[in-house]
Amino acid sequence: MIEVRIHGRGGQGGVTSAEMLAIAAISEGKYAQAFPSFGPERRGAPVIAFARVSDTKIRNRTKVYAPDIVVVLDPSVMKIVDVEEGLKEDGLLVINSGKSIDELRQEFGFKTAIAKVDATRIAMEELGLPITNTTMLGALVKGKEVISLDSLVAPLEKRFGRIAARNIKAMQRAYKETIVAGKES
């Protein structure tokens, strides 16, 4: 089973990212679940969403305490939340940032494997808005192929309708532009 925790801010689509990942996994014949964790938060407040993908039935219904993958939709969240908390030893951080991986390691002390893309720039160029949820799905799949990139197309088309093509293009660009670096020793 692969467990994913997504950090973002209210209104950025973190919950939608988790849902799209789960729907795509189910379309591949896998088992999946997605759910948010938030209280009375408002737009812009930190939000966490979770997803699980497995080849067997998933019986665990609790939040994800020890994720295999952590996705960071908004880099400002890293200044107020320990995004590495609970991340498994062989885990992966998938980060939206214009900084280099070396700069991220230096600033935050990350030692784990990192997949990094400037999703905000891609979202602005493709969508005209700094909403990075679909963009970061491309980065997640590049970092660790939990599902195939093509499996995300149908859920995105259904969810986004007339603007789906732009979201798909943003996701595909992020997949191509994501840089992946292994764990630091």
**pLDDT value at residue 11:** 79
Model confidence band, residue 40 (pLDDT cutoffs 50, 70, 90): low
pLDDT tens digits along 136-167: 999 999 999 999 999 999 999 999 999 999 99
Helices 14-27, 133-143: inter-axial angle, 10-degree rounding: 50
- pLDDT > 80? residue 185: no
Strands 113-117 and 179-181: antiparallel
Domain boundaries, the chain: 2-181
Contact 71, 49 (CB under 8 A): no
Say what the pLDDT of residue 43 is. 66
Cα 89 from Cα 32, distance rounded (Å): 23
Percent of the chain with pLDDT over 70: 96
Domain 2-181 indexed as CATH 3.40.920.10: yes
| pLDDT tens sequence across 100-148 | 999 999 999 999 999 999 999 999 999 999 999 999 999 999 999 999 9
Predicted local confidence at residue 76, as pLDDT: 92
Torsion of CA 81, 84, 85, 91, to 10 degrees: 150
Range with top average pLDDT, 10-14, 40-44, 84-88:
84-88
> How many Å from the N-terminal Cα to the C-terminal Cα in the chain?
26
